[in-house]
Amino acid sequence: MKDRTKFLLMCLAHFVADGAAVATLYKITQDIYTTAIAVILYDILAFTVQPLLGIMTDFKKVASLFLVSGLLLIAFGSFISFIGIVAQAVFLGFGNALAHVGGFAIAKSASKDDMTSLGLFVAPGALGVGIGTLFPEVSVALAILSAIVALIYALYYFFGKERIFVPVVSLKKPDVFRVDWVLLSVVLIVVLLRGFCGTIATGQYIVSGTSGQLAIYLAIFLGKAVGGFLADRIGIVRITMVGFFPSLIGLVFFRDVEILYVFSIFLFNFTMPLTLFMAIRALRGFPVFAFGMTAAILFLGTYVGDWLKNVFRAPWYLILALLAISVCGIVYSYQRTVKNIQREKGGLSNVS
């Protein structure tokens, strides 16, 4: 299988994994307590387990095994409604984490070390969540598609040159493992604040039906994809200034105007591939762990934001201040990343 085909298949896998899992959860209607427990259990497994699975993926050749088993678990979890929503949530959550980690590792190895690829891989997830949330009736179709993608990939490995389930020798080069904890902390704080602010700064307009909600998911999808593409061409600092910075104005002052809010969401998501790129740079030798860590921290920010949103209406200046800190964090992380690259290569970098 060509690298490009493999990469596109991983993007599709990301879309169906999120779509099938979320659609199944939204389709089931139970009492509020059971549903709350199921959703929380799903979220914990789907997001926070990713860094732990990421460490394993960075050291053992288990990416394909994770991807295939994750997609099959999601498909299986979608069909076994008779075992109860909580048990289903366990299958869906763990399957989702496996599919994400495995899919990212494969997509990363099949693509260039750039932000365009990162953006293109993470973007379909938002579309999957959107389709799953708004059209839960398609859960069966997405579950079948999930199994088909798993089957295609498994067949490729069984009949291709590469093999799954074979452990690989750990990396041995002395300079391969280098963790910049300061850079990592700053990037993760940015991710945390973005998740938190993105949740508390929700639109204050009357959503124009399903199409209005779909527009938000499309904006997230396009923001991630376009953000990575533009960042590779015009640079991290410029994309932050022309994309992320203007989005703050829309998210803080024009939350009651639908078109401006949706456009701000589009710009706001430009930074997603950038922070992932810098997290990977901060954790040399642990790219999949870095991916899992950003997912877990983003979830933590979203979770806290969601919690506070119910009991506390955040004032505009708090949101603006937190987002301004994010901008400073991105600029600082960029400068530190460039310094690290220059130190490693002993010359000028072309990251910007």
Contacts with other proteins, residue ranges (CB under 8 A)? 36, 40, 44, 47-49, 51-52, 54-55, 59, 166-167, 169-172, 174, 177, 179, 283, 286, 289, 292-293, 296-297, 299-300, 303-304, 307, 310-312
Question: Least separation, in Å, of the C-beta of 194 and other proteins?
Answer: 16
Question: Least separation, in Å, of the C-beta of 259 and other proteins?
Answer: 32
What is the CA angle 310-313-314, rounded to 5? 120
Q: What are phi and psi of 259, to 5 degrees?
A: -65, -40
The distance in angstroms from the start CA to the end CA of the chain is: 32
Q: What are phi and psi of 319, to 5 degrees?
A: -60, -45
| C-beta of 262 vs 298, nearer to other proteins | 298
β-partners of residue 178 are 284
Record the tokens describing residue 251, joined without a space.
Answer: 């998210």
DSSP codes of every residue in 73-134: HHHHHHH-GGG-HHHHHHHHHHHHHHHHHHHHHHHHHTS-SSHHHHHHHHHHHHHHHHHHHH
Distance separating alpha carbons of residues 288 and 292, to the nearest angstrom: 6
| C-beta of 27 vs 61, nearer to other proteins | 61
| C-beta of 56 vs 141, nearer to other proteins | 56
Question: Least separation, in Å, of the C-beta of 121 and other proteins?
Answer: 21
Question: Least separation, in Å, of the C-beta of 97 and other proteins?
Answer: 11
| C-beta of 52 vs 214, nearer to other proteins | 52
Distance separating alpha carbons of residues 350 and 27, to the nearest angstrom: 47
Question: Least separation, in Å, of the C-beta of 93 and other proteins?
Answer: 12
Question: Least separation, in Å, of the C-beta of 176 and other proteins?
Answer: 8
Residue of 39, 94, 42, 43 lying closest to 66 (CA atoms): 94
| C-beta of 263 vs 299, nearer to other proteins | 299
Radius of gyration (C-alpha) of the chain in whole angstroms: 20
Question: Least separation, in Å, of the C-beta of 345 and other proteins?
Answer: 21
**Residues in CB range of 46: below 8 A, 6 or more apart:** 21, 92, 93, 94, 96, 97, 100
| C-beta of 114 vs 306, nearer to other proteins | 306
| C-beta of 66 vs 289, nearer to other proteins | 289
| C-beta of 2 vs 313, nearer to other proteins | 313
Distance separating alpha carbons of residues 261 and 254, to the nearest angstrom: 6
Question: Least separation, in Å, of the C-beta of 55 and other proteins?
Answer: 5
